[in-house]
Amino acid sequence: MQISVHEKELLTLVVLGAAIGLGKLFVGSARLTLRSVVGQTIVGAGLATSAGAALLMFNDMPPTALVGIASLIGCGGQSTLEIAIRRYLGRSSPDQPAELDSHD
């Protein structure tokens, strides 16, 4: 079974994102659990795969550039996304519970 060039690029992005996610987890000081390892791997793979959208704008982008964009999104994207979600939910730290809106 032959895989196409696009499938190979997608697989490369998924593996790269998963590796970045695991690397960020291993460098951190948080306790490693199966849940955190699986979650970080999925998030990293998903964010790095989103770099494939750059191919829609630039069809002739070299694979090296695509991998670079995937690395940038995989590393910085998760932190940025996490900050945006925390601001939206009104949390300042991951350990702080979400406050319910009460308009008394």
Residue 94 lies in a domain: no
User: What residues make up the domain containing 46?
Assistant: 12-53+62-89
Count of structural domains, the chain: 1
Within 13 Å and on the Cβ side, how many CA atoms surround 2? 2
pTM over 0.75: no
Q: Is residue 44 part of a domain?
A: yes
Query: Is residue 98 domain-resident?
Result: no
User: Which tens digit of pLDDT belongs to each residue from 55-97?
Assistant: 777 878 888 888 888 777 777 777 787 788 788 888 665 555 5
Q: Does the pLDDT value for residue 101 go beyond 70?
A: no
Establish if 46 belongs to a structural domain: yes
Is residue 81 a part of any domain in this protein? yes
Asked if 16 contacts 67 with a C-beta cutoff of 8 angstroms, the reply is: yes
